[in-house]
Amino acid sequence: MAHNTLQKPVLTIRDLRLAFGDRRHPTPVLHGISMHIRPGEKVALVGESGSGKSVTARLAMGLLQDQKRVHVSGSIFFDGIDAARGGAEIARRRGNRVAMIFQDPTSALNPTFKIRGQFRDVLRSGDRSISNDEADRRAEAALAEVSIPDPKRALDSYAFQLSGGMNQRVMIAMALANRPQLLIADEPGTALDVTVQAQTLNLMHELTEKTGTSVLLISHNLGVVREFADRVYVIYRGRIVEHGTTAQLFNDPRHPYTRALLAAIPKISGGGLPDLPERSPEFENPLIVHEGCGEPTEAFA
């Protein structure tokens, strides 16, 4: 977006590589991806299953690095640290400086604790000295903000007692409760009905605009991306293949893979189904960057 290209990015990923397995025969998953998100920007990373989009989100949250047989190189600059190294620095920022929303809200919440206790934990990760009363007051206000009709009752419920749509709202309220700089949304609402999914996206849009939170949207659904994001990276088999603003990408897709994806989606305006290959060597063509969308060259460590 033109209005904030001068601001320092919230998240800058540089040449990020990831491989699984033992050192001698690692299986590469990410082949050096670079991307950035500026303050208040909504950026989508879109790709099919196995493309590497969810592992990118997990690396940014510091959730993969400390596991065995995971090999990471490159950098993820966020909030003054390099999150690619994992460890305590990024762990301390989870839940308050960076938060995440998952695909299935009901399984993302703990089934053995009421919402109240889970919400207190979230608020405490942002403010260790917060009292229970103060936490409950803020939790109620946060739930009211996501249009939960009876916040007190929701706090006294278990996740399985609420509908999927309600749980998704609880997740959004929790994720934004500490006003994070960055929200990572991994397929938000994909497990929900289409009308509920639309409400979820509207709600996320509205609240992040209000708080100025940047969003990294991970999705396989190009329709969702078009509705929600300002800028889009398309990922195919561990490589970014196209990068542009949402308008550039959807009005003028240039990479063979992006074109194939857009053609393969059934349209409500009709047109039947095109005859396309599931794979093609052309899909591996080099990265195409649209005008004005390059990666920043400054250092942000």
Partner 1 sequence: MTGNAPILELDRLGKVFSADGHSVAALDDVSLAFRRGECHAIVGESGSGKTTLANLVLGLIGATSGEIRFDGATLGRSRTREQKRAIQLVQQNPLSALNPRRSVGASIRLPLDVHDLGRRSERDARVASLLKEVGLEPEHARRSPRGLSGGQRQRIAIARALACEPELLVLDEPTSALDVLVQARVLQLLQRLRQERGLTYLFITHDLAVVRAIADRVSVFQKGRLVETGPVEAIFSDPKSAYTRELIGAIPVVTEAEAALRAAIRAGAPVPAGAE
* Interface residue list for partner 1 (CB under 8 A): 48-49, 193-198, 201, 220-224, 226-227, 250-251, 260-262, 264-279
Closer by beta carbon to partner 1, 124 or else 254: 254
Closer by beta carbon to partner 1, 156 or else 193: 193
Closer by beta carbon to partner 1, 105 or else 180: 105
Closer by beta carbon to partner 1, 46 or else 57: 46
Give min distance, CB of 49 to partner 1, in A: 6
Q: How many CA atoms lie within 13 A of 94 on its CB side?
A: 17
Query: What is the 3 state secondary structure string of the chain?
Result: CHHHCCCCCCEEEEEEEEEECCCCCCEEEEEEEEEEECCCCEEEEECCCCCCHHHHHHHHCCCCCCCCCEEEEEEEEECCEEHHHCCHHHHHHECCCEEEECCCHHHHCCCCCCHHHHHHHHHHHHCCCCCHHHHHHHHHHHHHHCCCCCHHHHHCCCHHHCCHHHHHHHHHHHHHCCCCCEEEEECCCCCCCHHHHHHHHHHHHHHHHHHCCEEEEEECCHHHHHHHCCEEEEEECCEEEEEEEHHHHHHCCCCHHHHHHHHHCCCCCCCCCCCCCCCCHHHHCCCEECCCCCCCCCCCC
Closer by beta carbon to partner 1, 272 or else 286: 272
Give min distance, CB of 269 to partner 1, in A: 4
Closer by beta carbon to partner 1, 251 or else 297: 251
Give min distance, CB of 132 to partner 1, in A: 36
Give min distance, CB of 235 to partner 1, in A: 13
Give min distance, CB of 278 to partner 1, in A: 5
Give min distance, CB of 184 to partner 1, in A: 19
